[in-house]
Each structure stands twice: as C-alpha cells, then as structure tokens.
C-alpha cells in the first residue's frame, strides 16, 4: 500500500545532516527572498547559517501568520485519561519500567475533569493516554470520545497509533484530530529509545499519518521529540513528511508541535540540547515553508519564551496543563508524564494574549457530520 | 438609477459585504463593520457557540442594520453543508447561508461538485443560497439553473490579498449572469475592490484585508469609499481605454478628401 515509507527509505540521514550543515548565508538569503520556498530552502532556514537572520525570519513569519490566521490564538487543554503503558520509552515518565502506581479514569472521573476544563472556557480538548491495549485500547478511547462529544466542540487524541478502521470508528463519533509524533526519524536511535512494546515498531508509527489520511480524520499533528537526535535533521524529515501528506491527503489539515524533552520521573538527559533560539528559528522556518500549517506550543515551554514566541507564528497554545490522569480535580498527585514549565492559570494566559492584541479563540469547530443527537 | 442591490428578499444600500474572522478583538470587529457600513456580515458557524446567547461574536453583531450571513466553512461534503445550514436556520433564525465547501485544506478552494449538489438541495429547502465558488462561468450558469440567488466567484485564494487574479473569467461571469455577482476572496486592497465594482460586480466581500490591517476601522472606511467609487464609475460608464494615441487616420483620410 502507498505510504510515506517508500519516500522515507530513499533518504539518508547522514547526507541530510551534511547538507543542512553545509548551507551558507547565500543559501539563507536566497531562501528568504523566494516567494515560494522549497525543502532545500527549509534546510537553509534551519541551518546554523540562518542563525544571524533570526530577526528577519521572525518578522516575515509573523506577517505571514497574521495574514493567514489573523490576530487570533486558538486555546486547547490536554486531558490525561490514563498513565498505564506497556512500552519502554527511555524519555517518558509513563514508561513501563517506571515502577509507580498507575491510574485510568472512569467515566465519572472523565466528566469531572471535563467539567473543570469547560468552566475554564475550553472547547477544544486533547485526550492523552499511554499505550496499554487491555485497559486503554480503542474501546476505551471510543467510549471517552462519545462521553465528551457533547461537552466539547473539538476533540483531538494523542494515544497509541491505531489501525485505519479504528480511526474511522472514532471519527464517526466525533474525533477531529490525532497527534502522532515520530519522536525521531533516526531509525537506529528510535530502536534504542523504544526497545519494548508495540511502539518499538518504527514503521507502524511512521505510517500512522497515512492511515489517518485514509480514514479521513480532519487534522493530523506531526512532530519530533527534541533531545533524542539532531533536531535539524529530525525537523527536515518532519517537513518532508508534512509535504508528502499534504499532497497525498489534500483534504486533511496539518499541525506541527515542538516538544522538547522535559524532566520527569526516572528521566533521561537529552542527548542534544535545543536552545530557545534554535526553537525560535525552527518555528519561523516552518512558517516560511508553509503559510497554512498550524503551529502549536505547549506548557513545556517557559513563561518568558511563550510570551514572546506567540508573535513568531504560533497559532494554538495550551495553558494550565496537567500531564497526569485526574490532574485537574480527580487525583492531582497521580504520576505525571513530564513536568510542565509554564504553570500560569488560563486566566493569566488569556489576559496576556489580550494585552498583546490577540483574540482568544475557544471554539473553531463544529462536527456537522455527527449523528443528529449531538445537536439536541 | 436605482443603486440598491436586491438579493432574495433583502435590499442592500451598501455593496460591501464583510466578515468576522481574524480581528484582534470583537470590539475592533464591531467598530470596523460599523465603519464599513456593511449590511451583510458573514460568520463561520463553526466559530460561534450557537446555543449560547452570550456568544462573544454574535452579541457584538446584534445591530439593526447588520444581517448575519452564516457560512458553512469546515464542511467537506454537500451532506455536511446541508446539515450545517439547517442547524444555522434553526439557531440563528435566518434562511440565508453562504455555502462554502472547501475540502482542500491548503488553499481553501471550493469543491464545485459538492457545492452544486448542496445548492440544489438548499434551494429546494427554501434557503437563500450564496455559493462561494471558483471563477467558473459554466458553474455559475449551472448554479443559476438550480435557483441560487447570487454567485460568489473568487478573485484569488481566500486570505491571499492578491486581488483579481481571475479577472478574465469574472468578466465573462458578469456579462452572462442573471443573478447578482459578488466577488469574494482575494481582495486585498481598496483598489482591488474598486476594480471589481468598475467591472460590474454587484458587490464584493472583504474580510482579511480589513481585519489584518494595522488599523481595521480606517481600512473598513477606505473599502467603503472604494466600493462606492467603483460602483459610481461603473454606472457612469468608463471612458474606453486606448493603448496608443490616435492622431489621424492615415488609411482612411482619403475618403474625406
């Protein structure tokens, strides 16, 4: 079956790294002057040679974002449903090797957490679980979506990769988007970080966006986890993946997230440090490559960084996030996936956004294809 | 000459239609719309909480002169569009709908096949249908045949501010149409709006160019004036343009000798 794998297998990691690091200021200037930018331009814009051009990149990025998205910021909140997981992921607090009590929310608990977020104003929600087929498989997720599709206008999930027919089922019940980060596109490093569990299958994960596209899920969120490998090469692969998907599944929307490794229980030190300036440069490079892709920033990032980066091209953000199941009201002390950095309240964040002349957007979706009972 | 515009059961004095997206706040949005003197304002159904009377956008549009034009942005098929229109008729108490079906997520270009299907069904159900379409003259005639009350061909992709890239086809559409032609999408500057009106468009719809301007209220005013100027120029009949000066008639002057 047609998938990203064939294009992926024609790439060579080392050649890409060499290519990116050999870009010159001339390449960067050419990229900046081009009206339509290619993946070669993207390589120049994420290269060390582009670092001195960051202000110029930021201004271009900001203008392009304003034109396409206006003066708006979409708000969403994550809601962790379970920290049960059968995978070993060296960098993750939920890794099966981390011997800490696990928790999966019941229906009643899910509704309690939902109620808290609704009262805060959230209408777009991101449901997160670990990967534990018996307890939080597709049935559990389907039930959670059905439970919440009357409460929230927009439901996104970040759970284990599923099969196409699973995604079709979830879509029918109101699923809007799926976030699935490849973590790293470096196949051998990927194996090192995911030695056990279903997640150790590199290609099953790599082809997940293809299955999502075929299932007709409205939006697919891509990303790499920064800290595992060279962020520039991983970002190039992500951009390649994005462009492949856009051409293949043209009815689907796309978003990019920028998770940097954060401290967590039983944690791994990042192999590669991505500085704030690097992340700022990357965000601009994505916007200069693609005027339409949504760019999202989470509470992994610091207050200072978030206050400023929103002017660079970010289109959606979360606030006051908890990364543990029941973290908002049900069981604040359960095992969290990672420590967040920006712990300001939703009210503080929205006030900051208004101060900076952003319209805070709580709702930007309506599932018109859903069974009519939703709209009673 | 009667300069008002009639669509469905409504008569408009202003030929500038506006939108509600991309503004930095609902207050700025409202002030800009008031300055534009627009009487028809489109609002994305997916953006508003129609069950909530205090919805921020809707409450700011509660103005006697402003008619709401709900749009179906976000739907991918005719079926979803019809469902969205029904929902909006019930909740917002209007049978007007801006039919937008753009499954293409990158350029938001409209799907002509689904749009025609949905238009036919919605007309049957008693809606005033304003379809957003590519500048395709044949599609305009087909839509007219199924009973839409106007057509809304694009000048350029939504939000691109590129102006009337489709001008040659807009001219054909305007020449052939029996229903009002409203140029929608792509108008990035008052001069583009004036140009569309000079060509004989019945109205224009402008959103991004106003909302994203550094001064949306002044820009709304500028668009208002441009649309009025363009309309006035159209009704006054533009003098023909010439590419060269015509000093004499070297070939035919012998006839008058």
* SS3 category, B203: strand
CB pairs under 8 A between A and B: 79
pLDDT band at A375 (very low <50, low <70, confident <90, very high): very low
Is B207 annotated as ligand-binding?
Answer: yes
> What's the mean pLDDT when you consider all of chain A?
92
A364–B45 C-beta distance less than 8 A: no
* SS3 category, A252: coil
Is B188 annotated as ligand-binding?
Answer: no
Measure CB to CB from residue A72 to each of B22, B80, B83 and give the nearest one.
B22
* CB contacts, 8 Å: A354 with chain B: 25
C-beta neighbour count of A96 within 10 angstroms: 18
Tell me the shortest Cα–Cα distance from A371 to chain B, in angstroms. Answer: 10
CB interface of A with B, residues 211-250, below 8 Å: 246, 250
Using the 8-state DSSP alphabet, how is residue A156 labeled?
A: E
Decide if A151 contacts A174 (C-beta within 8 A).
Answer: no
Decide if B66 contacts B92 (C-beta within 8 A).
Answer: no
Is B230 annotated as ligand-binding?
Answer: no
Q: Single out the residue of B177, B236, B166 nearest to residue B202, CA to CA.
A: B177
Instruction: Give me the pLDDT at residue A305, please.
Output: 95
On the question of pLDDT at B256 being above 60, the answer is: yes
Domain range summary for chain A, segments of one domain joined by + = 69-271+290-364
Collect contacts of B229-233 with beta carbons under 8 A, ≥24 apart.
B229/B194, B229/B197, B230/B193, B230/B194, B230/B195, B230/B196, B230/B197, B230/B198, B231/B3, B231/B15, B231/B197, B233/B194, B233/B197, B233/B198
Q: What is the rounded CA–CA span in Å between residue B36 and residue B16?
A: 7
Instruction: Give me the pLDDT at residue B83, please.
Output: 92
Measure CB to CB from residue B47 to each of A364, A368, A369 and give the nearest one.
A364
* CB contacts, 8 Å: A215 with chain B: none
CB interface of B with A, residues 10-29, below 8 Å: 21-26
* SS3 category, A299: coil
Per DSSP bridges, beta strands B40-44 and B16-19 are parallel
Measure CB to CB from residue A251 to each of B21, B103, B208 and give the nearest one.
B103
Q: Which residue of B has its CA nearest to A356?
A: B24
Any CB–CB contact under 8 A between A71 and chain B? yes
B74–A366 C-beta distance less than 8 A: yes
Measure CB to CB from residue B47 to each of A250, A363, A372 and give the nearest one.
A363
Any CB–CB contact under 8 A between A373 and chain B? no
Instruction: Give me the pLDDT at residue B56, please.
Output: 80
Measure CB to CB from residue A66 to each of B47, B104, B212 and give the nearest one.
B212
Determine the average pLDDT of the residues in A20-46.
96
Percent residues over pLDDT 70 in chain A: 96
Largest CA distance in chain B: 82
Is B19 annotated as ligand-binding?
Answer: no
Q: What is the rounded CA–CA span in Å between residue A375 and residue A372?
A: 6
A186 phi and psi angles, rounded to 5 deg: -85, 110
Tell me the shortest Cα–Cα distance from A246 to chain B, in angstroms. Answer: 8
Instruction: Give me the pLDDT at residue A338, please.
Output: 83
A123–B24 C-beta distance less than 8 A: no
Instruction: Give me the pLDDT at residue B242, please.
Output: 67
Instruction: Give me the pLDDT at residue A288, please.
Output: 97
Instruction: Give me the pLDDT at residue A376, please.
Output: 40
On the question of pLDDT at B12 being above 50, the answer is: yes
Q: What is the rounded CA–CA span in Å between residue A102 and residue A99?
A: 9
B106–A292 C-beta distance less than 8 A: yes
Which residues of B are part of the catalytic machinery? 98
Decide if A282 contacts A235 (C-beta within 8 A).
Answer: yes
* CB contacts, 8 Å: A72 with chain B: 21-22, 24
Tell me the shortest Cα–Cα distance from B100 to chain A, in angstroms. Answer: 13
> What's the mean pLDDT when you consider all of chain B?
90
Instruction: Give me the pLDDT at residue A335, please.
Output: 84
Determine the average pLDDT of the residues in A161-178.
96
Any CB–CB contact under 8 A between A368 and chain B? yes
What is the tens place of the pLDDT at every residue in A263-275? 666 667 788 889 9
Which residue(s) pair with B182 in the sheet?
B203
Which homologous superfamily does the CATH classification assign to the domain defined by B5-237?
A: Aldolase class I (3.20.20.70)
What is the tens place of the pLDDT at every residue in B196-248? 999 999 999 999 999 998 899 999 999 999 999 999 999 988 777 766 666 67
For A167, A309, B24, B107, B159, the CA distances from A246, given in Å and listed in that order, are: 19, 26, 29, 11, 19
Half-sphere exposure of residue A165: CA atoms within 13 angstroms, side-chain side: 1
* CB contacts, 8 Å: B105 with chain A: 246, 250-254, 292
B161–A368 C-beta distance less than 8 A: no
A364–B46 C-beta distance less than 8 A: yes
Percent residues over pLDDT 70 in chain B: 96
Measure CB to CB from residue A70 to each of B21, B44, B107 and give the nearest one.
B21
B105–A252 C-beta distance less than 8 A: yes
Q: What is the rounded CA–CA span in Å between residue A346 and residue A359?
A: 14
B23–A363 C-beta distance less than 8 A: no
Q: What is the rounded CA–CA span in Å between residue B21 and residue B42?
A: 9
On the question of pLDDT at A373 being above 50, the answer is: no
Any CB–CB contact under 8 A between A357 and chain B? yes
Any CB–CB contact under 8 A between A292 and chain B? yes
Q: Which residue of B has its CA nearest to A252?
A: B105
Any CB–CB contact under 8 A between B87 and chain A? yes
What is the tens place of the pLDDT at every residue in A127-140? 999 998 888 999 99
pLDDT band at A21 (very low <50, low <70, confident <90, very high): very high
Inter-axis angle of helices A231-248 and A39-46, to 10 degrees?
160
What is the tens place of the pLDDT at every residue in B166-194? 999 999 999 999 999 999 999 999 999 99
Q: What does CATH list as the number for A69-271+290-364?
A: 3.20.20.70
Alpha helices in chain A (DSSP H): 4-9, 13-21, 25-33, 39-46, 54-69, 107-120, 133-136, 138-148, 164-172, 187-193, 202-206, 208-215, 231-248, 276-289, 303-309, 346-355
* CB contacts, 8 Å: A247 with chain B: none
Any CB–CB contact under 8 A between B106 and chain A? yes
A68–B106 C-beta distance less than 8 A: no
Alpha helices in A249-298 (DSSP H): 276-289
Determine the average pLDDT of the residues in B54-76.
85
Write out the DSSP string of A195-227.
-BSGGG-HHHHHTHHHHHHHHT-SEEEE-B-BT
Instruction: Give me the pLDDT at residue A100, please.
Output: 84
Alpha helices in A216-269 (DSSP H): 231-248
* SS3 category, A240: helix
Q: Single out the residue of A302, A276, A207, A165 nearest to residue A2, CA to CA.
A: A207
Domain range summary for chain B, segments of one domain joined by + = 5-237
Q: Single out the residue of A170, A169, A157 nearest to residue A131, CA to CA.
A: A157
Any CB–CB contact under 8 A between A66 and chain B? yes
Which region among A187-196, A345-354, B7-16, B51-60 has the lowest average model confidence (pLDDT)?
B51-60
Measure CB to CB from residue A358 to each of B24, B159, B211 and give the nearest one.
B24
Is B186 annotated as ligand-binding?
Answer: yes
Any CB–CB contact under 8 A between A253 and chain B? yes
């Amino acid at each position: 079956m047609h998938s990203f794998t064939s294009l992926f297998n024609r790439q060579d990691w080392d050649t890409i790294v060499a290519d990116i690091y050999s870009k010159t200021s001339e390449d960067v200037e050419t990229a900046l002057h081009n009206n339509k930018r290619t993946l070669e331009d993207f390589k120049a814009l994420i290269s060390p040679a582009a670092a001195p051009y960051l202000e110029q990149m930021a201004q271009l990025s900001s203008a392009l974002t304003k034109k396409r998205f206006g003066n708006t910021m979409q708000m969403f909140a994550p809601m962790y449903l379970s920290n049960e997981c059968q995978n070993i992921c060296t960098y993750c607090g939920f890794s099966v090797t981390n011997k800490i009590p696990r928790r999966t929310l019941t229906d009643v608990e899910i509704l309690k957490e939902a109620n808290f977020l609704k009262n805060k104003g959230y209408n777009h929600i991101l449901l997160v679980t670990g990967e534990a087929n018996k307890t939080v498989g597709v049935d559990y997720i389907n039930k959670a979506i059905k439970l919440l599709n009357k409460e929230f206008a927009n439901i996104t999930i970040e759970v284990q990769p599923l099969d196409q027919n699973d995604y079709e089922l979830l879509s029918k019940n109101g699923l809007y988007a799926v976030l699935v980060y490849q973590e790293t596109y470096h196949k051998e490093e990927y194996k090192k970080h995911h030695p056990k569990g279903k997640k150790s299958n590199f290609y099953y994960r790599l082809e997940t966006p293809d299955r999502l596209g075929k299932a007709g899920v409205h939006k697919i969120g891509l990303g790499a986890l920064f800290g595992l490998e060279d962020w520039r090469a991983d970002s190039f692969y992500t951009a390649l993946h994005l462009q492949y998907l856009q051409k293949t599944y043209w009815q689907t929307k796309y978003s990019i997230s920028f998770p940097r490794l954060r401290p967590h229980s039983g944690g791994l030190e990042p192999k590669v440090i991505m500085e704030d300036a690097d992340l700022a440069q990357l965000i601009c490079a994505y916007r200069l490559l693609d005027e339409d892709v949504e760019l999202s920033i989470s509470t992994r990032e610091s207050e200072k960084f978030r206050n400023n980066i929103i002017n660079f091209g970010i289109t959606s953000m979360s606030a006051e996030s908890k990364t543990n199941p029941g973290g908002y009201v049900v069981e604040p002390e359960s095992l969290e996936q990672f420590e967040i950095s920006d712990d300001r309240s939703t009210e503080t964040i929205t006030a900051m956004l208004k101060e900076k002349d952003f319209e805070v957007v709580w709702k930007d979706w309506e599932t018109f294809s859903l069974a009519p009972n939703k709209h009673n | 000459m009667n300069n008002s515009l009639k669509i469905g059961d409504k008569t408009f004095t202003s030929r500038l239609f506006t939108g509600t997206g991309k503004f930095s706040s609902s207050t700025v949005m409202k002030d800009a719309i008031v300055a534009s003197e627009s009487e028809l304002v489109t609002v994305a159904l997916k953006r508003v909480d129609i069950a909530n009377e205090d919805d921020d956008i809707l409450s700011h549009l509660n103005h006697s002169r402003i008619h709401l034009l709900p749009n179906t942005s976000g739907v991918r098929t005719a079926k979803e569009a019809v469902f969205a229109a029904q929902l909006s008729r019930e909740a917002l108490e209007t049978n007007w709908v801006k039919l937008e079906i753009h499954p293409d997520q990158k350029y938001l270009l409209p799907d002509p096949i689904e749009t025609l299907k949905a238009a036919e069904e919605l007309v049957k159900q008693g809606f005033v249908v304003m379809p957003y379409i590519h500048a395709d003259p044949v599609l305009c005639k087909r839509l007219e045949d199924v009973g839409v009350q106007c057509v809304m061909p694009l000048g350029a992709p939504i939000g691109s501010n590129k102006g009337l890239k489709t001008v040659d086809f807009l001219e054909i559409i305007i020449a052939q149409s029996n229903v009002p032609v409203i140029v929608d999408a792509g108008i990035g500057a008052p001069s583009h709006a004036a140009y569309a009106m000079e060509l004989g468009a019945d109205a224009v719809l402008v959103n991004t160019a106003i909302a994203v301007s550094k001064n949306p209220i002044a820009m709304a005013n500028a668009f208002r004036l441009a649309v009025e100027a363009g309309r006035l120029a159209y009704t006054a009949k533009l003098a023909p343009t010439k590419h060269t000066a015509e000093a004499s008639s070297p070939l035919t002057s012998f006839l008058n000798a």
